[in-house]
Chain A
Amino acid sequence: AQSVTQLDSHVSVSEGTPVLLRCNYSSSYSPSLFWYVQHPNKGLQLLLKYTSAATLVKGINGFEAEFKKSETSFHLTKPSAHMSDAAEYFCVVSDRTAGANNLFFGTGTRLTVIP
């Protein structure tokens, strides 16, 4: 079965400092992994995805994530936080066993950026 654990429900950083949002996954198959971002009262926007190509994945807005199979992790990082990064972030694993590509979401990490 597929599942995702986001290790921090809330992360607070100062503007200009690095961001680290942690995610561990469980999957019976070679997984596809995603990070989505949700700004307040908005829908979900895809930040980046891993689909068994390069293990270091670059996304939008300077974010990147590294797939580490040995650690079953897919942590999201950004070198320097910006005020506009304040949002909720979801780590997601896919289930390809069904005809559709069903997603399993983590419970989210709320990122606060302090001026």
Chain B
Amino acid sequence: DAGITQSPRHKVTETGTPVTLRCHQTENHRYMYWYRQDPGHGLRLIHYSYGVKDTDKGEVSDGYSVSRSKTEDFLLTLESATSSQTSVYFCAISGTGIGGETQYFGPGTRLLVL
């Protein structure tokens, strides 16, 4: 694994509560991404970051916000969790230059919203 950790690895929460997922990298890569994985959909991009405090929306960003205050950390927040946000969440990183097109994935966080 490319020096990426995600926490927590599993979480059960109730509808309406806030949830924050953390992605931490030790590779000093510029780009970080959050995806969700659902059956029949593959992985879909939620948000990404192209530097500290620089973020942008992906394909399925509604209901999610992100923050990146340090190069190594990228936080995903569900302000008010809903059952439709039950999913497996993956963080990914990529660098610049040669090989920068390749993304490396963390182990995932399994989130259940009751």
Give the interface size bracket for B toward A: 20 to 34
Count, A-B residue pairs, CB within 8 A: 56
Q: Which residues from 26 to 51 on chain B have a C-beta closer than 8 Å to any C-beta of chain A?
A: 31, 33, 40-45, 48-50
CB distance from B7 to the nearest CB of A (A): 14
Residue from A44, A100, A105, A106 with most neighbouring chain B CB atoms (10 Å): A100
Closest to B94 in A: A101
Asked if B62 lies at the interface with its beta carbon under 8 angstroms from chain A, I say no
Q: Which residues from 26 to 67 on chain A have a C-beta closer than 8 Å to any C-beta of chain B?
A: 32, 34, 36, 42-46, 49, 51
CB distance from B48 to the nearest CB of A (A): 5
Q: Hey, which chain B residues are within 8 Å of A45, CB to CB?
A: 105
Q: Hey, which chain B residues are within 8 Å of A115, CB to CB?
A: none
CB distance from B56 to the nearest CB of A (A): 7
Q: Hey, which chain A residues are within 8 Å of B104, CB to CB?
A: 46
| A46 to B2 alpha-carbon distance, docked (Å) | 11
Closest to B30 in A: A100
Known: A44-B90, A107-B41. A102 touches B58 (CB 8 A): yes
Closest to A105 in B: B42
Q: Are A49 and B44 in contact (CB under 8 A)?
A: no
**Chain A: interface residue total (CB-CB under 8 A):** 23
Known: A90-B43, A107-B42. A49 touches B102 (CB 8 A): yes
| A46 to B108 alpha-carbon distance, docked (Å) | 15
Q: Which residues from 11 to 29 on chain B have a C-beta closer than 8 Å to any C-beta of chain A?
A: none
| A49 to B107 alpha-carbon distance, docked (Å) | 20
Q: Are A100 and B42 in contact (CB under 8 A)?
A: no
| A108 to B94 alpha-carbon distance, docked (Å) | 22
Q: Are B33 and A100 in contact (CB under 8 A)?
A: yes
A-B contact pairs, 11 of them (CB 8 A): A32-B101, A34-B102, A43-B107, A90-B42, A94-B101, A98-B56, A100-B50, A100-B94, A101-B100, A103-B43, A103-B45
